Amino acid sequence: MSTIPARAVSWARARRGPALGAAALASTVIVFEALDTGFLPTIAATIVAGLLCVTALLAPPQHLWSAGWAAVTTSAALSLATTGLQHRPEHTHGLAEMCALLLLVTRSIRHQPVRRMIPLAIAAWAATPLMLLRLPASQHATAAKYAVPPLLLAALVMVVLGLYLRLLDASREREKNTRLHAQRLEYARELHDFVGHHITAMTAQVKAVRFTTAAGHPPTPQALDEALANIEDAGTQAMDSMRAMVGLLRRPDHEAPLEAPQGLNALQDLAEPLRAAGIAVSLTVDPRLDAAPPADHTSSLAHHIVREALTNVRKHAAQADTVTIDVRLSADNPGTLTVCVTDNGPRNPANTPSHQSGGGFGIVGLRERVHALGGTLTAGAGPASGWQVLAQLPAGRNHPQSSALAAGTMAP
């Protein structure tokens, strides 16, 4: 996805405020430490070196390499040049700049590739103890004795922190890629379900007209107009579904379903295109479901199953003239919803290899959703003839994750 979720943008803006505040505070400290030298050239040089270190901490990762080396080389050059000057800071050698260099070690380990990470991190740490040379020469021995060991420990801490953040970023990137992969699969399922359903309805109408014409019984103008109207309606619905999908892909949050989830009350609409094509469709819905309807995500998934089964009838069972849809609570377990779609049309093995092997994208997507809900789905030869799709779904209360899988919504 090229769009950035609004939640991520707001989080980035929330982090920018404290970072800028800390940078402003560090810059103020750097200015006061520079004034401690009492010599205008060293004041200016110290301010420039300190601000470059702060800039390296704020620079985007793609500019960290150049900004980091600019800060490191300037700081080290100033430290070495100060050894030849008489004007030295009286109270501090630049603690803010030293802290920025240590943080630069962490940031280089976190964001740079290995071939750049190692030299930049080593250079940033090497410039840190060099700052002790800015102190008067009489304090060098004391500074080396008491400051170098803590700097070594601080360097170790910065390295460990950088490695931890690097691993954390890698883990987040893997999670993001996993979510994106799941979204792509979900969009593929929705494309198959929403658009494929309407296109196969159009194909079925055209085949019916061609079949009757080839049999010597061309449709009357009124029947032809009705068939064309049905084709037009199916094409309009296909375009609407495609437009809804494109709209979802352009949304910044990706939190809305492609269309409102359909339930058991919409099964009659799925049967109408087959009836218009001359197929006798028998729809039976358990009366108990009117008094105690199943959970919304279960009803939506049942609708998906019936729609996919009817789509496959139009695709793979051209000779089918009877389809039975049966949705009822299981007699053995009232907490289980049974969805069964059976037709009497023979399948052509050469025409439906993926469908018979269970490798069709529609059946695969349905099976994934049904398993996520805790149910089972089988597709194969019917008990007498034709083909049967049978699903067993738990008709319990809503479950957030299952509801998202069934309705086609995606987590942000």
Q: What is the DSSP string of 266-288?
A: GHHHHHHHHHHTT-EEEEEE-TH
The values of phi and psi at residue 257, to 5°, are -70, 165
Tell which residue, 16, 59, 53, has the closest CA to residue 33. 53
Q: Alpha-carbon distance 305 to 193, whole Å?
A: 10
Cβ distance 57 to 103 under 8 Å? yes
Give the pLDDT confidence of 190-242 residue by residue, as tens digits. 666 666 666 777 777 788 788 888 888 888 888 888 878 878 877 777 777 67
Mean per-residue pLDDT of the chain: 78
289, two tokens? 């479901």
Q: Assess whether pLDDT exceeds 60 at residue 382.
A: yes
C-alpha atoms less than 13 angstroms from C-alpha of 151 in its C-beta half-sphere: 21
Classify 324 in phi/psi space as left (phi over 0), alpha (psi -120 to 50) or beta. Answer: beta
**Gap between the Cα atoms of 89 and 82, Å rounded:** 10
Mean pLDDT of 262-268: 81
pLDDT in tens, 267-280: 888 888 888 777 89
pTM for the whole structure: 0.49
Instruction: Answer yes or no: are the C-beta atoms of 207 and 316 closer than 8 Å.
Output: no
Between CA 199 and CA 192 the distance in angstroms is: 10
Look up residue 191 and give its amino acid: L
SS3 257: coil
Q: Find all residues with CB under 8 Å of 58, minimum gap 6, and list them.
A: 19, 20, 23
- Helix H or strand E segment including 23: helix 6-35
Average pLDDT, stretch 109-125?
93
Q: How do residues 322-369 score in pLDDT, each as one tens digit?
A: 999 999 998 888 789 999 999 987 765 544 434 443 344 567 778 888
What are the φ/ψ torsions at residue 283 (nearest 5 degrees)? Answer: -115, 125
- Percent of the chain with pLDDT strictly greater than 70: 77
Asked whether residue 111 carries a pLDDT value surpassing 60, the answer given is yes
- Greater confidence (60 vs 315) lies with 60
Q: Please report where in the chains the tokens 């600019």 appear, as a residue.
A: 70
Q: What is the per-residue pLDDT for 231?
A: 81
The edge-to-edge listing of strands for the beta sheet with 336-343 is: 280-285, 322-329, 336-343, 387-394, 376-381
Give residue 246's pLDDT.
67
